[in-house]
Amino acid sequence: MAISFDWLPTFQWWNTFSNILFILNIILAFFILFYERKRASSVWAWVLILFFLPVIGFVLYLFFGKPLSRNKMKHQSAYNNPELQKLSEEQLRKIDEGTFHHASSVAEEWLDIIRMNAASGEAVTYTQNNQLHIFTDGKLKFEKLFKDIELAQDHVHLQYFIIKNDDIGKRLVKLLEQKAREGIKVLLLYDDLGSRSLPNHFFDGLFQASGKALPSLPSKLPFINLRVNYRNHRKIGIVDGKIGYIGGFNVGNEYLGKNRKFGYWRDTHLRIEGEAVHSLQHLFLIEWNQNAKKYPVRYNDRYFPSVTTKNTTGMQIVASGPNASVDQIKNVFLKLITRARKSIYIQTPYFIPDSSILDAIKTAILGGVDVRIMVPNKADHPFVHASSLSFLNELLSVGAKVYSYNNGFLHAKTLVIDEKAFTIGSANMDVRSFSLNFEANAVIYNQETAAEMARIFLQDMELSKELTKELFESQSLYQKVKQRLSRLIAPIL
């Protein structure tokens, strides 16, 4: 019986193709090492992948490692608010001259951070006349948001990472459709990957009512998205330029605690009335124009109405993303941590800090600062959770207190310093939020609201389990190996 070698040409073709990919991997590794501006940890993580996966490493990099063009992203925006930019520059000048005065004595303590943010070049302004409300429950947050939208008189601008095709998602879009039919200007921005489950017809009613909805960072090719590693993770809202929302809640039933796997969803979101809403508006309109080629929004006074709120809650809105020249939110985290003298309370679903943040936390602990970190007990990303536990174990060894939230899923992203200043937003305490995602955070310099945030943390502690060094040591070999391996690839998770 004769042996057939009909498969040989196919094998030879695959062998040639594999050799080509291997050569491309070598070239790419050289390029990553010497030409790309990446963190050393990220560089070596990619080199390891290219070394151990020589055939598919090149393809993986195209999807998950290729950087966005900063200049291209900046030039895409046709929007600019000259008044905010001018105010930011004026505040920076006054700080340097020693003539920058505010009503809050607490803000005076954090003048170096206020200056750092103003110097970022992103029109970050310090505002004093603001009134805040903190939400930790999704149902209450959405009830208030929907009420604000119902009362809108001019415009509603919303941006979310995830919008689900479920009860709460449909209710939101139906309400926006209703307001658009009333003549209210409605703009909705959602992340293309985060909201990938939405059907094509989901926004048809809104479009017919003259409202607009756009995906952020959409794929230019069907079924292929070479920018999949960069996501728009922001969750912000503006109503009439007077009311703003910023925090961690997305739009879906699970964020109301209706998911069987996660149960109660514990998150944190801010409602703002006052001058800081103008900063949120500025941020949203820049982002809108980076994605809206057919109908960009130009500067208009209607989006920045005069503010009547009189309060003493000083704050700034900061943003970061892969198109930014600096990792501004990470710099805020770092600066706040290094300024701590008494306490640092951190809540985050993912704890994968870079070396600078990790060292800053260690230094604070060794200096006698009470450092407490709270993470979820449940994992929605197995390798990310395992990597987080590895970092937390390291901090336990120098004296940190670590807690696992057991009353559902903890998705809050908060950092409270000395019960005097804090930050809330979309950014997790991980390298993805620092460099790869578009994020937005509010930084608040106010003792009363910071103390409220500290009380919320302590209340959550009552619903948590403290993780100890002995608990980590008693883990199985499999768990220990998984955590160590997950940490190796942490820079690209």
Q: Output the CA torsion 34→40→42→46 (10° steps).
A: 50
Alpha-carbon span 134 to 120, nearest angstrom:
27
Report the distance separating Cα 480 and Cα 433, nearest Å: 25
CA-CA distance, 410 to 475, in Å (whole number)?
23
Catalytic residue among 191, 192, 240, 267: 240
Q: Which amino acid is at 261?
A: K
Cα four-point dihedral sign 196, 199, 200, 201:
negative
Amino acid letter, 112: D
- The answer to whether residue 413 is catalytic is yes
The DSSP letter of residue 224 is B
- One of 141, 278, 413, 482 is an active-site residue; which one? 413
The secondary structure of residue 68, as a DSSP letter, is P
Q: Is 240 a catalytic residue?
A: yes
Per the annotation, the verdict on 381 as an active-site residue is no
- How far does CA 273 lie from the centroid of its chain? 22
User: What is the Cα–Cα distance from 475 to 481, expressed in whole angstroms?
Assistant: 10
Instruction: Point out the catalytic residue in the list 330, 411, 420, 482.
Output: 411
Torsion sign over Cα 88, 89, 94, 97 = positive
What number of CA atoms fall less than 13 Å from residue 455's CA on the CB side?
7
**Facing residues of 344 across strands?**
371, 417
CA angle 296/298/302 to nearest 5° reads: 125
Query: 231 and 161 in contact (C-beta within 8 Å)?
Result: yes
**d(C-alpha 411, C-alpha 428), whole Å:** 9
- Pairing of the two strands 401-405 and 370-376: parallel
Q: What phi, psi does 98 have (nearest 5°)?
A: 80, 20
Which of 212, 233, 269, 420 is an active site residue? 233
Find the catalytic residue in 267, 327, 354, 418: 418
Cβ burial, residue 62 (10 Å; 0-12/13-18/19+): middle
**How many C-alpha atoms does 312 have within 13 Å on its Cβ side?**
11
- Let me know if 418 is a catalytic residue: yes
Instruction: Say which of 235, 242, 330, 385 is annotated catalytic.
Output: 235
Give the 3-state secondary structure of residue 216.
Answer: strand
Catalytic positions are 233, 235, 240, 411, 413, 418
